[in-house]
Amino acid sequence: MRNEEPLLLHFDDEADEALRLARAVGLRAAPIERHRFPDDELRLRLPAVLPERVVLYRSLHRPNEKLLELLLVARSAGHSGARHLTLVAPYLAYMRQDKAFRPGEAVSQRIVGEFLAGLFDGVITVDPHLHRIGSLAEAIPVPHAIALPGAGLLADVAVAHRGRPLLVGPDAESRQWVDAAAQRHELDSVVCTKIRHDDRRVDIALPEGVDLAGRAVVILDDVASSGHTLARTAERLRAAGAASVDVAVTHALFAGDAIEVIRAAGVDEVWSTDCIAHPSNAVHVAPLLAEALRAILAE
């Protein structure tokens, strides 16, 4: 007999985060078995019988193989009885490329968004990198496309550790997150100017007329990947007299030696959410995700 209570599916490498969400919502949870063959093909195994409403937890850092996993899971879930699928992807990949900057470039935001819309009825994420569009639904046209704000949670951490720091955005794209975090605690904030030469070479210019002498400063952004943008910003802030420089990011990608790069540039503490599991995690997003997921399941 089929149990019609909603079920949350997850992979073993994200069991802690997925189970934290399941407990917050009051859902049953089940793991997806994953086997890799010698030729790198995957074999996935879901529960043989599924309820009509199924939630899949999968954060999409290192996304290329995971997108194939989503395809396999979504199609298999439908064959096993699922009729409504919600993807909880705290980090959502391929949102940066929202236009063709040179002729022939693939606009990955549109392509991946349409791919996800073909698999799921709802998508929940945190601080997606949306720059030239106004809502997640424009990128992923599904009945429930929910982008949750993580910047305020980072502001809470910054205030708890540094009192009333100055919040600094490293570039124009960070303004939306810096403004939201600053408003939550009525903090001062500024945004720098960035000139990008390639994936690892950037120049940062501080805004004119800002007195940084003796101030506690927190650099806040949505994503940290190579760490070079944060490092150049920290160097400028230290040179201008900042007493402390910390980093707060929603998505702790921190590829390769990124942490070492920003530490060498004068960064003291690094705080992140657990949208991506990392030693710097200082905030659980399960309560934030749970509220949105309850609303979807209630419908």
Q: Give the active site residues.
A: 194
Determine the distance from the C-alpha atom of residue 264 to the mean position of all C-alpha atoms in its chain, rounded to a whole number: 25
